[in-house]
Amino acid sequence: MIFGEQKPIEALIEKIAGHKKILIAGCATCVAECAAGGEEEVETLAPLLSMALRKKGIEISIETCVIEKQCEYEFLEEIAEKILHVDAVLSLACGIGVQALAERFKNTPVYPAVNTAALTIREQEGVWATRCVACGDCVLGETFGICPVSRCSKSLLNGPCGGTRSSGKCEISEELDCAWGLIIDRAESCGKTETLITVNKPKNWSTSSHGGPKRKERKDLKP
Partner 1 sequence: MAWGNQRHMAQEKQTTCKDPRLLVLYCPRCLASPLDDNELVRALEGQGCFLQPLPCSSKVKVSHLMKLLNESADGIEILACRDQECRFLTGSVRAQGRVALARELLSHAGLEHERIGITFLSSLNKGHFADFLQAKIEGLKKLGVNPAKTSY
180-191 CB burial, b ≥16 within 10 A, e <16? bbbbbeebeeee
Alpha helices in 34-94 (DSSP H): 39-55, 73-76, 80-83
Neighbours of 74 (CB within 10 A): 8
Query: From the list 14, 17, 21, 204, which residue makes contact with partner 1 (rule: CB under 8 A)?
Result: 21
Alpha helices in the chain (DSSP H): 9-16, 30-33, 39-55, 73-76, 80-83, 95-104, 148-151, 179-190
What minimum distance in Å lies between the beta carbon of 29 and partner 1?
A: 19
Question: Residue 84, interface with partner 1 (CB under 8 A)?
Answer: no
Neighbours of 6 (CB within 10 A): 19
Query: From the list 40, 78, 123, 142, which residue makes contact with partner 1 (rule: CB under 8 A)?
Result: 40
Question: Residue 60, interface with partner 1 (CB under 8 A)?
Answer: yes
Q: 66 - beta bridge partners?
A: 26
Query: From the list 1, 5, 33, 50, which residue makes contact with partner 1 (rule: CB under 8 A)?
Result: 50
148: preceding bond cis by omega (within 30 degrees): no
Query: From the list 49, 93, 101, 179, which residue makes contact with partner 1 (rule: CB under 8 A)?
Result: 49
Query: From the list 1, 52, 96, 161, which residue makes contact with partner 1 (rule: CB under 8 A)?
Result: 52
Say how far residue 15 (Cα) sits from the centre of its chain: 21
Report 97-126 residues binding partner 1 (CB under 8 A): none
Question: Residue 8, interface with partner 1 (CB under 8 A)?
Answer: yes
Question: Residue 51, interface with partner 1 (CB under 8 A)?
Answer: yes
What minimum distance in Å lies between the beta carbon of 126 and partner 1?
A: 9
Q: Return residues touching partner 1 (CB under 8 A).
A: 8-10, 21, 40-41, 43-44, 46-52, 54-56, 59-64
